[in-house]
Chains A and B, each alone.
Chain A
């Protein structure tokens, strides 16, 4: 299957700092990538859809100035959590859409963010 790399897998930061998470599709080009947030034992909550070369589309209730998304190439999307606070601590997962007969999302391994 397709491979999506997400980095870092785990990060601890101080309150007020910014954290950048990278998502790369390793063996296919992805014009569309997605960023999710997941709380323990809950489903995936879509935060935003990242489109290569254009602005991301944010879901209702997600602050676009807080969660900056850049999709500068067909294989890389980044999520920057700006001025992180403890309530931003969560598991963030990216996925890349492989288009074709089946539009399948392939997920990265996730990033566990802990804000102190």
Chain B
């Protein structure tokens, strides 16, 4: 079967750095995306990795290792507004995307 594993919850303090891991097992792989979703809102696109390495976008960075079927989202200088759910998603081909169960991030003062 196809699966994505990510932690269900992570707690961190303001100003800290947090890493949310995602491991996947899929029949196809074209890229790994990360989305942020606040309660009651829609997911918003954060990043996309198709090749191994680190992609940096402001305070957020995303990493991919295809050989390890592993990626992570790194959030730096955490702010209260970063409290949300974060989903990793694998693009498996044919426009098909599989989403992980999501990681709820709680940022404390």
Contact = CB atoms under 8 A, between A and B. Distances in A.
> Do the two chains belong together in a single complex?
yes
Contacts of A32: 95
Interface string B22-59: 00000000110101000011111100101000000000
Contact of A102 (B31, B87, B102, B104): B31
Nearest to B45: A104
Contacts of B43: 44, 93, 95, 107
A41 B104 contact: yes
Interface string B86-109: 010101000111011110100000
A102 B89 CA distance: 13
B37 to A, nearest CB: 9
Interface in A19-45: 32, 34, 41-44
Interface of A is mostly: strand
Interface in B63-104: 85, 87, 89, 91, 95-97, 99-102, 104
Interface of B: 30-31, 33, 35, 40-45, 48, 50, 85, 87, 89, 91, 95-97, 99-102, 104
